[in-house]
Structure 1
Amino acid sequence: MNIGDFGGAGAWLIAALLLGIAELAIPGVFLVFVAVAAAIVGVALLALPDLPIAAQIGAFAAWSVVTVLIGRRWYRDYPVEGDAARLNDPAARLVGAVVTVERAIEHGSGRVTLGDGTWPARGPELAVGTRARVVAVDAGVLVVEPLDE
C-alpha cells in the first residue's frame, strides 16, 4: 500500500502534514488551523472518494474559516500566560522587575537602575536608593510604585 492508493485524500493529508511542519518551523499559531482543515478534507475524501475538486476546495475553505474562528475564540478565552505571552515584547518583560531609584522621583519623574542600565521613570515621590517595582512601560519610561517590604 502506498500514498497513491489514497488518491486525493492522500494529497490533502500530505498538505496537512506539510502545513503542520511549517507551523513548527515558522510559529505563528495560524497554519495549524489550516492544517486541521486540510486533514478534515483528507479524511472526508476517504469516506467520499468521488467528491469533485470544486467541492474539496470549497470544503477546505469553509473548514479553514471554521478552524481559525475556533482557534481565535480559544486563544481569547484561554490566553497564553507567563513569559511566553511576552516573548516578542521586551518592554513587557520588565513589568514586575524590582528597580532602585538612582535619581529621586520628584514631580512624577526620575531615573531608576535596572540591571546594569538606567531608565527614565515615572511614579510617586521616591528618594534615591528606594526600591520600587515596575508596573508598566510607557514609551520607554518605566512606571514604578514603591515596593512593599
Structure 2
Amino acid sequence: MDTVTGWLSSLDAYWFWLALGLFLAAAEMLVPGIFLIWLAGAALVIGALAFLLPIGVPLQILLFAVLAIATLYIGKRYLRDNPIVSADPAMNKRGLRMAGQMATVTQAISGGQGRVHHGDTEWIARGADAPVGARVRITGTDGAELLVEPVE
C-alpha cells in the first residue's frame, strides 16, 4: 500500500480533507489571488463526500484532482464573465482624484512648465502659460507632474 494512502487510511480521511480545505481558504485570505479558494472548495466537497460515502482514499485523491481542475476552470470563466469592479477606481490614485480641482500658480508657467500650489503641496505643472497667482484647473497627471489649463 502506498505511504500516503496508508497514512490517510489510518485517519478518518474526511478530517484531512476538511482541514486541507480550511487551510487553503485561510491561505487565500492571507495571500489573495483568487486561486486557492477554488482548491479549498474542492477539498471541502471531498471531505463531505468522504464523510457521507464509503469511498477509498485513492478515489478521493482522483476526485479531488478532477474537482480541483473543474472548479479552477469554472472560477476562471466566472471571473472573466463577471470582472471585479472597484467601487472607487480613483482609490490610491491621487492625480486622478485631483482632476477638475483648482490650483494657484506659484511659479509662472512659461514654455509649458511651472509650479502650482494645491492643497498643502506645491507641484510641478505643465500647461498653457500663466502668471504667478493665476488660477488653473487640474486636468490630469503625467507621473508626478500636474497637467493644468487656465481658468477663464
TM-score relative to the length of structure 1? 0.64
Q: Deviations over 1:55-102 (max 9, x none)?
A: 312321332243134234433xx520316x633xxxx22323233221
TM-score relative to the length of structure 2? 0.63
Distance 2:118 2:23 in 1: 44
Q: Deviations over 1:3-61 (max 9, x none)?
A: x65x34x43443333333333334x4x24x42134214422553475334133123213
CA contact (8 A) 1:134 1:142 kept: yes
| Structure of higher CA gyration radius | 2
Identity of aligned residues (%): 29
1:11 aligns with 2:16: yes
Distance 2:86 2:16 in 1: 33
Unpaired runs of at least 5, structure 1: none
Q: Report the RMSD for the aligned CA atoms in angstroms.
A: 3.1
CA contact (8 A) 1:110 1:120 kept: yes
CA contact (8 A) 2:139 2:147 kept: yes
**Against the structure 1 CA distance between its residues 52 and 15, is the aligned structure 2 distance closer, same or farther, given a 3 Å change threshold?**
closer
Q: Which runs of 4+ in 1 moved over 6 A?
A: none
SS of residue matched to 1:95:
helix
Aligned equivalent of 1:54, options 45, 62, 71: 62
**Against the structure 1 CA distance between its residues 47 and 23, is the aligned structure 2 distance closer, same or farther, given a 3 Å change threshold?**
closer
Count residues with an aligned counterpart.
133
Unpaired runs of at least 5, structure 2: 1-10
The aligned runs of 1:17-36 (5 Å cut-off) are: 17-26=22-31, 28=32, 30-31=33-34, 33-36=35-38
